[in-house]
Structures are given as structure tokens and as C-alpha cells.
Chains A and B, each alone.
Chain A
Amino acid sequence: MMEKIYSRPNCIVPMQSGYCPGCLHSTATKIIAEVIDELGQGHNVINVLPVGCSSMGLLYWKIDMVGSAHGRAPAVATGIKRSRPDSLVFTYQGDGDLAAIGLAEILSAANRGEKFTVIFANNSTYGMTGGQMAPTTLIGQKSTTSKKGRDAETAGHPIKMCELIKELAAPVFVARYTLNNPQNIRKAKQGIKKAFQYQLDGKGFSFVELLTNCPTNWGVEPLDSLKYMEENTMKYFEQKVFKDEEESK
């Protein structure tokens, strides 16, 4: 008798992913779904989706979802979580959404200590609009609006969201992971699980950043995009737990 040891998470719609080949949004979507299943929260979760490639989660997750305006997901999630404190509420936002147009909303929600979780997929580009420079684009990294590579003189340096948010008093869990290989994907999944568990325990704001890729707009093969992450992205954006309320006690 064969034993079934792996299957599609319950809260993923059984359909083909429309994410580009090699895009790590697919991986992030899957591990978040696995965590929801493992915590038995499929019926009780409300996801807030933003604008950008991450909004495609509307197609793939089989959970209650609310689509919001560009950058406003943390404000929408605030309204939801305050009205439904027993629901497991999370946003899934990209870097243009969260770290540019939505800076006021993310920092203010974190500072108020809203008791929901933000999962931040950082691929250093505006994916859906075709690869413009993001607040997280690396120095020298080319984009359709920084054709010679990002220049710190005019565009500043890539913004480090975990490092900003960990300085606020209210957040209880702030961590950055990377999805470049199976080992790191497992670590990221554990981080998401911890953030969700803290929320279910009634603790405060949690923020999980996931370093991801964009083979299409970086203009490289999927495997080369992982290599680029390892040689560049992961060196600039340190992967660690910046703040963990439990461990600091």
C-alpha cells in the first residue's frame, strides 16, 4: 500500500498557476497555504491582497479574501482585524506596494501594533507593470526606469523594511527569509507559521519579509535569477529574525 506523503494544500484552488515560470510568488503562495492548513485556519482566515503580481493570489487561494487599493492593504486589514478580532488576518504585499506607495500605511499599522500579519514579497521590481525601478531595486540593478542601473545619487538606496519596522515598539515578530532553495523555503515557512501563531495567541503586529525573484523582468533564466539573488539580493538584505517578542523575554 502506497502512503500519500504530499498533496496540494486544501486552501489552494486546483488550477495551473499563472505566475511566470520560475517566479517564487508561486512558492510563497504554496507555503502560506500549507501553514494555514497546518494551523487548521482555512475557515477562519481573511487575506488582504494589494495591487501588483501579488494580487494574483485572488485566483489561487481558496480562502476569504479582500482586494484593496495600491499600498492600502495594511489600512484595510486594520479595519478587518478590529472588526473581526478572532479572524486570522494577513496581507500579502509586494515591494512597490508596501515600500513605496504604501509606506505610510505599513509603518502606521506596525506602529499601532495592529494584531495582524504582513507577508512582504520583495523581488526588487514592479513585476506586473513591466519591471520599473522599485524602492528595493539594488544599486546598479537595471530596470525599465533605471536603464543604466539604479544610481544612489538620484534614486537613493534600496529600502530595508525589516530594519525600519524592528525599531518600532509595537511589533512582536519581524523577520526576513529568502526562498532561493528548499532549506531556506522551509525556514521561511516556519517563520510564517510563528507569525500566524503569535496572531492566534492575540499578540501584536508581525512582519515577515520574503526575498523573491522576477526572472521575467530581471531578464534572466529562472536558475540564473536564484544565482543573482544569492550573489546580490541576499548579500544586501540580511536574512534573520530581527525581533521576536518570545525570545527577548
Chain B
Amino acid sequence: MAKQFMKGCEAVAEAAVLGGCRFFAGYPITPQNEIPEYMSSRLPEAGGIFIQGESEVASVNMVYGAASTGTRAMTSSSSPGISLKTEGISYLSGAKLPALIVNVSRGGPGLGSIQPAQSDYLQSTKALGHGGHRLLVFAPYTLQEAVDIAYDAFEYAERDRSPVMILMDGCLGSIMEMVDLPPMKELSNQNTQGWKVGYDGVKRGARMITSIYPEAGLESNNKNSAAMYKKWQEEDVKVEEFMLDDAEYVVVAYGIAARVAKQAIMQLRGQGCKIGLIRPITLYPFPKKSFEKLNYNNIKAFIDIEMTIPAQMYDDIDLLVRGRAPIFEYGRSGGILLDDDGVTDAIKKVTGGQA
């Protein structure tokens, strides 16, 4: 393990390379430019390919092409660029191709702002393109967590033959932290031999990778996807449950918002407030069980804290809480960051200034 002080975008790019990424195509957009910049020199060193595409649309389709040859392929962008990539992400899902997509999100809607925001929760978890497909969506809150997720992302993608998304906002992309970098992965055990296109020295029947199917085939694929999403819910949820045992107030937050909220929670705990945190690490599948096992006799309120207005995770929480406690929301948006005092004051308004 090599400890290094790295910037978020570069750390996640390096972790992807160590995890086997050998193809990157992307297009400049702030605040994720350090990913393509890093990849442009790092990938050739590692025997990989870097292409600066003519657009986000072209870049995700280059990834689609590379992925169809069994190459571990990745693209990154920020919110408006991810919107453009959603066509290609839908096709990746439809054609059952593994790939990694990183969204270093910024303020929206529209051109929005280039500053950090968490305004893409609904897009990431509900509709990364047309057709009703889902992705595994990971939302790290430290650079080490981002590194660990990026390092293993291609194993998930190849296991499922489905693209994977890492959603990290502009804060995580821009901060610098110490990270432990894992060793370079061997690519010999890649799980792509049975379907990838391209001649490998052994003559075989022709192969086809496409997202168009006859009706019965398409429905059968959709049923398989539905079963896969259920399995994700059973087996792949990642969540941090923090100080929930005696909690009367439960904060729900992910990514950078969870980091700020955690500080506030520790401060309030110090003042005697019984408060805890559910931090989804996978946004999809959402950590339903963390809500199911709570003791609702104890709980006075939930507080959904997100760096976006209105809160987007609210409906997912509401479906699980089912009226057993009130849900409050607090956020900042437009590129205005959450801070300790703002979050602490917002929580105190809910707890009635208790503590």
C-alpha cells in the first residue's frame, strides 16, 4: 500500500487504473477536468488508451465500443455532461456492457454553476437515460472510500454486465487527502471471455452486441434486469449506520453532506442530544433495511440533509418511514456549500434547541 496525498479527481482516476481501467474517453467540463487530464498521461503509461472525445455523447459511445471488446473502460463528467451521456448509458445497460461512469456533480439545473452540489440524486438513482434501467450508484464521502470503490467498480460491472456509477460532488473532486493506494490488479481473471467481440486467436461463431431485441427477448432481458436489481437490494447495499442505537433524531445524508452532518452530530452528541446518522454509500440500491430495523417508538424525527434544494432523497426516505415520524429537510444549493454552523442550527430547529 502506497500512501499518497492526492486530489479527489486524480485519486479516483488512479484507483480506476489500478483496478484495471485501460480506456478512458471524456470531454472537458468543470469540476472534473482533472480526471481526463490525469488519464491523458497515466493511461498510456499503463498500456491503455486515452481519447478526448468531440462531446460527452461521443465519449460515452467510445466507452461503449471499448467495453464491447472486453476492455475496462471509463468516462467521467459533471452534471450537464452526464445528462448528455445518459443516451449512451441507456445503451450500455441495454447492450449489457460493463463500464464505469464518474459524475463529479455541480449545481443545476441547466448550466447551473460550476461549484459543487448534490443535485443529481434523482437522475443517478431513477433515470440515467430512457428505458427504466438502473445502475449500481456509489456515493463516497472520503477520498479513501472513493479510491476503494473505484478500485472494485469493474468487478461489479463485469459481474453484472452493467455499467456502474460513482457520484461524487465537486467538493470531493477538489479536496486533497491522504489515500492508501492498492496494488495494480492483474487482468487475467476478467469475466468477459464469453461475450466480447474481436478475434482472440481461436475461431468461433459470430457474436453480436446490441440493445435491440425482438419483443420476447427484450421482455426476457427486462425480467432478468428486474431480478438483478432485487439481488442488488439483498446483497450489494453499502451503508454506514452511525450512533443509531439510542437515537431519537436520525439524520440521513450521503457524500459531502454526510461528512458535514457527522461533525454536527458529534458536536450535538457532546451536548447530550440523542442523534444518529444513516449514510447511504450505495444510493441505488437504497439502504432500506437500515430504516426497517429502527425502533420507531424512540424516533422523534428524521432530517434529510443534502447539498441541493429541494431535497431529492426525501421520497425514498418517506417510502420507508411511512408516516411513523416527521421528515424535515435542510440543504444549500447552487454551489453554496453546507457548513457546520448551518447544519447544526438546522438540526437544532428540529430538536427544539434541545442540548
Contact = CB atoms under 8 A, between A and B. Distances in A.
Interface of A: 11, 43-44, 46, 48-49, 55, 58, 61-69, 72, 75-84, 86-87, 104-105, 108
Contacts of B208: 58, 64-67
B116 interface: no
Contact of B61 (A63, A64, A72, A87): A72
B49 interface: yes
11 contacts: A48-B65, A58-B212, A65-B209, A66-B65, A66-B210, A68-B91, A69-B87, A76-B61, A79-B63, A81-B65, A104-B57
A80 B95 contact: no
Given A62-B206, A63-B206, A64-B206, A83 B212 contact: no
Contact of B198 (A11, A72, A84, A104): A84
Contact of A84 (B69, B87, B88, B91): B69
A29 to B, nearest CB: 14
A78 B209 contact: no
A72 B57 contact: yes
Interface string B52-74: 01110111011111111101010
Nearest to A13: B206
A86 B69 CA distance: 12
A83 B65 contact: yes
Nearest to B95: A67
- Shortest 10 CB-CB distances between A and B: which pairs? A79-B65, A67-B210, A75-B61, A108-B54, A79-B66, A76-B65, A79-B62, A64-B197, A72-B61, A75-B58
A77 B87 CA distance: 17
Nearest to B203: A43
B65 to A, nearest CB: 3
B61 A68 contact: yes
Interface of B: 22-23, 25, 49, 51, 53-55, 57-59, 61-69, 71, 73, 87-88, 91, 95, 197-199, 203, 206-212
Given A58-B208, A66-B210, A67-B211, A78 B88 contact: no
Contacts of B67: 79
A65 B69 CA distance: 11
B88 A72 contact: yes
Contacts of A79: 23, 25, 51, 61-69, 73
B292 to A, nearest CB: 40
Nearest to A107: B54
B68 A80 contact: yes
Contacts of A55: 212
Which among B57, B59, B66, B69 has the greatest number of chain A C-beta atoms within 10 A? Answer: B69
Nearest to B199: A44
A81 B23 CA distance: 12
B88 A69 contact: yes
A51 B206 CA distance: 20
Contact of B65 (A11, A44, A63, A75): A75
Given A67-B209, A78-B62, A83-B198, 5 more contacts: A58-B208, A64-B199, A66-B68, A69-B61, A80-B198
A99 to B, nearest CB: 16
Given A58-B212, A64-B197, A84-B198, A78 B51 contact: yes
Contacts of B209: 65-67
A84 B61 CA distance: 16
B87 A66 contact: no
Contacts of A58: 208, 210, 212
Contacts of B58: 72, 75, 78, 104-105, 108
Nearest to A41: B199
Contacts of A82: 23, 49, 51, 62, 66
A230 to B, nearest CB: 35
Contacts of A43: 199, 203
A72 B23 CA distance: 18
Contact of A80 (B57, B87, B197): B197
A83 B87 contact: no
A46 B64 CA distance: 14
B53 A80 contact: no
Contacts of B54: 104-105, 108
Contacts of B61: 68-69, 72, 75-76, 79, 105
